[in-house]
Chain A
Amino acid sequence: MSDHDHKPAPMVDEISDFEILEMAVRELAIEKGLFSADDHRRWTEYVHTLGPLPAARLVAKAWLDPEYKKLAVADGVEASKAVGVDWVTSPPTQFGTPSDYCNLRVLEDTPKVKHVVVCTLCSCYPRPILGQSPEWYRTPNYRRRLVRWPRQVLAEFGLQLPTDMEIRVADSNQKTRYIVMPVRPEGTEGWTEDQLAEIVTRDCLIGVAVPKPGVTANTKRPVHPAVHPVHHDHNH
């Protein structure tokens, strides 16, 4: 007799108990005003960032040099060489292929178009120029929801975009890898390449944040005190 009640186990555990717990505590804390969704995004980015990103320098160079910007948009692999990354000879795997395909596209934001990158297949990521992907980038949650509800997902990262701005999701499920070149923010007039590279964080290059002087930073990460700190009265 066949067992009609049997249900196959899911191939991917969509979410663990610990993740549910983390989300519940995080959302309560945001509602309570202990920190904002943007604070949380910044901290998560900090703990996931392993080192200086060549891609940040690529964007800074392109902001300063219109000719280099043209090259970056037309041929990302060639443009990467100027920031010390040769996709063909030196990917982190030291084994050219097939884990790191050698095709990079730089997606140029405009005041009317905001790009954001996802891989719905699993976790394709431009590792030679952006390092290891953050944990959230690889979750079924982000992959499944970003393509369908990009505005809502970006809002969860603390990024609210105007209604009339086009959001363009890039799904990297074949051989191209993408980085986003955000619009150079106001308040950076006269800045050097080093100064500009400091504000182009990993999240800005994936597209879930926009660079902002005094907010996004690759160096000297500030510790933000809680807006409403908890007082441990029971210790007295």
Chain B
Amino acid sequence: MSKIQHDRTHHAKMATGIGDPQCFRGKAGTPKFKEGDRVRIKDLPDIFYTRTMVYTRGAVGTVAKLVYESPAAEDEAWDNTDKPEWFYSVVFKQKELWPEYSDLYANDTLETEFPERYLESA
């Protein structure tokens, strides 16, 4: 939803003296996933803005940590901060992301974060 009176400093004011993402703490409700859960990254439409990288879409990883609550970048880019959600740090085997990754280095991993909307149980 667009703001009728758009205040460009709204975001900064909200976080001043508290921090971002700390200013959204306690606003996302009950997390859907927990540490150790296996999750698949959904390939959602991203017409305008996203921080969910293409190389992670469709891949299956493990939730390493619930990191903070925040609006998803897709919303926050438009100053829509009404619906914060849980963010998860997910670890992938490199082989899961890059099929040609050498079997010699089967232990190698990559860790990155996602808003809850991008995750489904795997």
With an 8 Å Cβ cutoff, the count of chain B residues facing the other chain is 36
A167 partner, pick from B51, B108, B114, B115, beta carbons under 8 A: B108
B19:A77 contact, CB within 8 angstroms: yes
In the assembled complex, the CB of B63 is this many whole angstroms from the nearest CB of chain A, namely 14
Bound CA span A121–B51, Å: 7
Complex interface: chain B residues within 8 A of A65 (CB): none
A96 touches B113 (CB 8 A): no
User: With an 8 A cutoff between CB atoms, is B98 at the interface?
Assistant: yes
Contacts A97-B15, A171-B111, A176-B89 hold; do A147 and B20 have CB atoms under 8 A apart?
no
How many chain A residues sit at the interface, stated as a range, is 20 to 34
* Complex interface: stretch among B26-34, B36-44, B67-75: B67-75
A175 touches B91 (CB 8 A): no
| Chain A residues, CB < 8 A from B97 | 147-148
Q: Are B108 and A150 in contact, CB atoms less than 8 angstroms apart?
A: yes
Known: A169-B110, A174-B113, A175-B21. 6 other contacts (CB 8 A): A88-B18, A98-B11, A167-B105, A168-B110, A170-B110, A170-B111
List 16 A-B pairs, Cβ < 8 Å: A87-B19, A95-B12, A96-B20, A97-B15, A98-B20, A101-B20, A103-B22, A121-B53, A148-B98, A166-B108, A167-B108, A169-B108, A170-B111, A174-B73, A174-B112, A175-B20
